[in-house]
Structure 1
Amino acid sequence: MKNPDPIPARVVALKTTPTPELKKQWRELFDTEPPPFNRRYLESRLAYRIQELAYGGMKPETVKRLERLGEEFDGGDRKRSRVRADLMPIVGTRLIREWQGAEHVVTVTTDGFEWQGRPYKSLSAIARAITGTRWNGWVFFGLKNRRART
């Protein structure tokens, strides 16, 4: 009888692996220090890397095409695209905030956010529309601690 493929189990195990262990695996698999990104980012990149090493990566032509498309999309600014990808909630995420007895639901879109059927570029604009005062939208919706220094 053939042994089952251990790779899927290894990838699934990432979800319950403690963060320090994820960072250890990152060092082993990438031979670099792990980036200061969130846990979800570490899990997804580790899952890809585990599969890449086991089954092979993308063809060089595919990599070149993706790099070209990335440059067209964000002007080749790798730092800007990396920060944006890490900070932005996933498209489709619903942010819910109660304000003065009313529940407000904001949906993350590819271009920004949607609230009450209208598109917005920033959470701060939505927070201002809800409260009538200036707010940091990330703080208002609980995505960033008011005291955190970033």
Structure 2
Amino acid sequence: MTTHDPIPARLAALKTATTLELKAQWRDLFDTEPPPFNRRYLESRLAYRIQELAYGGLKPETIRRLERLGEELDGGDRKKSRMRADTMPIAGTRLIREWQGVEYIVTVTADGFEWRGRPYKSLSAIARAITGTRWNGWVFFGMKNRSARK
């Protein structure tokens, strides 16, 4: 006796669904209003949620471990450190900051930043490594005015 798994078909159907249909599915699966993000984001989150509900999600200890690793790499809350792609400096841009008489150079990469040959996902993590204290990386490197911070 063969059982048919409907999940692959549901995932494939996301590609041909209208945006309105995707938003309706979001409401059903998350019980919240869909975020104002692009279609690709909606599709990927819906695909994950469909599989999570059918097959089970991550174990709590896995989630905690990922959060700890994220903190180590990013130096803070992902929601706060996330920056819109259209305001991100172009890959290859060098950010230079003098701190306590020492010049620090960070290179913007396609997926984050590089400092001292090591990849970083956020400027805040680099600023924290340099200063030993929490900083908004964009403020530290002069990319955002401190008074604009909320």
Scaled by the length of structure 2, what TM-score is found?
0.54
Change (3 A) 1:18 1:81: farther
Taking the aligned partners of 2:38 and 2:86, their CA distance within structure 1 comes to 7
State whether residues 37 and 86 of structure 1, in contact with CA within 8 Å, keep that contact through their aligned partners in structure 2.
Answer: no
Change (3 A) 1:53 1:40: same
Q: Gaps spanning 5+ residues in structure 2: where?
A: 89-108, 114-150
| Counterparts in 2 of 1:6 and 1:19: CA distance versus 1, 3 Å | same
TM-score of the superposition, structure 1-length normalised? 0.54
Structure 1 residue 51 and structure 2 residue 89: aligned? no
Corresponding position of 2:98: none
Q: How far apart in 2 are the matches of 1:35 and 1:51?
A: 20
CA-atom RMSD, angstroms? 2.5
- Note the C-alpha offset of 1:35: 1.0
The one-letter code of the counterpart of 2:111 is T
Unaligned runs of 5+ in 1: 89-107, 113-150
Which 4+ stretches in 1 moved above 6 angstroms?
A: 85-88
Q: What percentage of residue pairs aligned between the two structures are identical?
A: 76
Give distance in 1, aligned partners of 2:87 and 2:51.
25
Instruction: Find the residue that maps to 2:5 and give its secondary structure.
Output: coil
Report the equivalent of 1:29.
29
Aligned to 2:13: 13
Greater RCO, CA 8 A, separation 6+: 2
